[in-house]
Amino acid sequence: MSHNFHPTSLREYDIRGIIGETLGPDDARAIGRGFGTLLVRDIGDARRPMVAVGYDGRVSSPILEHALVEGLTSSGCDVRCIGMGATPMLYYAEASAKEADGGIQITGSHNPANYNGFKMVFRGRPFFGTDIQRLGEMAAAGDWVDGAGRVEKVEILDEYVDNMLGALAGIDTAALEGLTVAWDAGNGAAGPALEKLAAKLPGTHHLLFTDVDGNFPNHHPDPTVEANLADLKVVVAEKSCDFGIAFDGDGDRIGAIDGEGRVIWGDQLLMIYAEDLLGKLPNSTIIADVKASRALFDHVEKHGGKPLMWKTGHSLIKSKMKETSSPLAGEMSGHVFFADDYYGFDDALYAGMRLLAASARLGKSVTQLRSEMPAMLNTPEMRFQVDESRKFAAIDEVTARMTGDDVPEGVEVNATDGVRVTTEDGWWLLRASNTQDVLVARAESDTEAGLERLMGQIDEQLALSGLERGESVGH
């Protein structure tokens, strides 16, 4: 018996597709067979591996869970089903249980309602890239072991929520009593945990859309798109909240606004977290992806930390954290990773707790912390279609030109992930997406004229490779 996946579903960081078109129960079963086989071979005859399995609130998730569990058990793995919840609750189940050898969350993340997919952890490390391609090769060859594992169902929601309260350890709760916070779960999987968490917090908390609904009837659950924060902004204004927090569909990405309704972008949140963390762990390495503002890297240095620019992608960031023993990392996309007093995975609920804690420890409101940040002029993330066979080659061409002999003095080039070019005007970035047939561009400057010149350089480099920016496409 063998199985062939749709070629678009096996991606760099996870597996994702459209239900009934590019992804279905047979794929879920094959994922279970492959993942389970890899664990059985890795662990040997000493014992049966144990895998934690969870799923988000999408309509298709329970069917996929059933097939996934079938695949895992028929490969000889025991399965601990934790039911419906946020992706970080699955990560918690895997990280906190000594007997867990892996974890799989069924989730479509921030994609539209007709998508679904799988995020995986293998023996405490992210499972991505060549790991995912290996599942495809094994399925095509029918290269699976046979076995008979057991299934148990466990409730960990209360334990998960109680553990997050540790973010407020050492903080005088009186400092939080006067806070008013708005929270928007976006009908995503974080809703039930948010309700339990907010009930245990000091202060006043206004909750939006905590009912889990895989059709997302109120707004699309992607907090990095400002239009999706409109409901949150209304509540913050009407209830005079100190700040507001929003989550994506599976609760691993955070969005935030201050008391004046200004968006606090991913790199700006990381500035707040870094300032707080460096107060107790000076000289720490703080990691951010190549799309982050120069202001963040300057801020980390100013507060006694070592900034490290790294590749975009939550799996890549998590791996780099382990390698460098970094206690904090983040991405523009709202993934934030804490490994000082937490497990090093991206948990938006916990990140929300850390925002409360940072404000209290630093003795400043979130609005004040946002106001103190330098006013940088930057573009949104621009994504434009480029043929899959061309996107990486184009970036290689730009890199070669920007690192050649003709580059003007004073221009710095960072080729960690694509090309990030720093000039007197600021910086611009061109990189190829690992998950779509698009190039991503971004630029930042202190002045409008400088930003215009940087955009001109992007357009010039694209033209030299026979490309143009065109209209930006969605995620």
Element (DSSP H or E) covering residue 361: helix 348-362
State yes or no: is 109 an active-site residue. Answer: yes
Q: Cα–Cα distances in Å, from 140 out to 13, 17, 35, 128? A: 20, 18, 14, 18
Amino acid at 414: N
d(CA 367, CA 370): 5
- Tokens 């597996």: give the residue: 15
- Token pair listed for 251: 């609760």
Instruction: Write the CB contacts of 354 (distance below 8 Å, at least 6 apart in sequence).
Output: 167, 273, 276, 336, 338
Q: Choose the catalytic residue: 60, 61, 109, 333.
A: 109
Angle value at C-alpha 359, between 358 and 360, nearest 5 degrees:
90
In 146-265, beta strands by DSSP E = 151-153, 180-184, 204-208, 243-247, 254-258, 263-264
Terminal alpha carbon distance of the chain: 35
SS3 for 434?
coil
Point out the residues that are catalytic: 109
